Structure 1
Amino acid sequence: MTAAAPRPLPEWTASAVSPLDAKLGLELLEVSPERAVGRAPVAGNTQPFGLWHGGASCVLAESLGSLAAHAHALTLDLVAVGVDLNATHHRSAREGWVTGTATALRLGRTLASYEVVLTGDDGQRLCTARLTCSLVPPRR
């Protein structure tokens, strides 16, 4: 049995990558209300000792969770704004790519929460994060 082909990215994601995401080198692979997947290179995102920076983990986790929450918010004519992020760093990487998968824990009418798991090229977990976004009316 072969794996299903990934869904194409929603059109709105083309303009949803922030300048910080661009500096990180974020590549979006999948975005839906239930799940977002993306990756970033270790190169250019390290701390002084050559290891993947914990702050890069937080940026990747928040970006993926926020994009998934935004996809959910759009179904309610709302926007998503982050209100809580926590991350546990388990290990680091020196090369390759870090892939993040944000999986919905709760998709409500006022809040959306995600668990975000970051792994290295070897499949080992680097970081586990949780993001909660408030769903609010857009500013007009």
Structure 2
Amino acid sequence: MAEQLEQLDLSTFKSTLADRMGIEITEATAERTVGTMPVEGNTQPYGVLHGGANCVLAETLGSIASAIHGWPERIALGVDINATHHRAVSSGKVMGVATPLHLGRSVASYEIAITDEEGRPVCTARLTCFLRPAPKPQ
């Protein structure tokens, strides 16, 4: 992991949304990207984790993994995400793990498994990113 993190500055992937949601990346390679997100502050009015928050965590992890896969020749752009929500969570943190389904030259697809602190499935998502040529430095 350290080798790939030295090559690609993950701070460029920090976004206002990911920061606001408290997403923390704990591992990042093209083969496995892991992160956590607090439930508190990311809930729907009923007090449980918002389904959209699961999607933001999934897209963040899958996009970082896709970017690492394509870097430095290509950049990753998300083109499709879907999510199946399995269980409600009302406290603690959730953890997402992105693993590749397909790593091609022009498309990368990832499955992102999100679990609660007890390891129970919360959400399973799939993200597909288009890999396009990186802009030339000026």
Q: In which range does the TM-score fall when normalised by the shorter chain?
A: over 0.9
Which residue is 1:3 aligned to?
none
C-alpha distance in 2, partners of 1:35/1:80? Answer: 16
Is 1:37–2:34 an aligned residue pair?
A: yes
Please state if 1:107 is matched with 2:103. yes
2:5 to 10, 26, 34: 10
What does residue range 46-61 of structure 1 map to in structure 2 within 5 Å? 46-61=43-58
Identity %: 50
Residue in 1 that maps onto 2:92? 96
Runs of 4+ in 1 over 6 A off after TM superposition: none
Q: What is the RMSD computed on CA atoms of the aligned residues?
A: 1.2
**In the TM superposition, what is the alpha-carbon distance from 1:136 to its structure 2 partner?**
0.2
What TM-score, normalized by structure 1, do the two folds share? 0.91
Secondary structure of residue in 1 paired with 2:43: coil
Residue ranges of structure 1 left out of the alignment (5+ in a row): 1-6
- Give the aligned partner of residue 68 of structure 2: 71
Whether 1:119 and 2:115 are equivalent positions in the alignment is yes
Counterpart code for 1:57: N
Q: CA deviation at 1:138?
A: 2.3
- Paired letter, 1:10: L
Amino acid across the alignment from 1:108: G
* TM-score normalised to structure 2 length: 0.92
Unaligned runs of 5+ in 2: none
Say how many residue pairs are matched: 133
The CA deviation at 1:15 is 2.6
Shift of 1:114: 0.3
Between the aligned partners of 1:82 and 1:111, the Cα distance in structure 2 is 10
Which amino acid letter does the alignment assign opposite residue 91 of structure 2? E
Query: Per-residue displacement from partner, 1:55-109 (whole Å, max 9, x unpaired)?
Result: 000000000000000000105x000000110000011111000100000111000
| In structure 2, distance between residues paired with 1:92 and 1:20 | 22
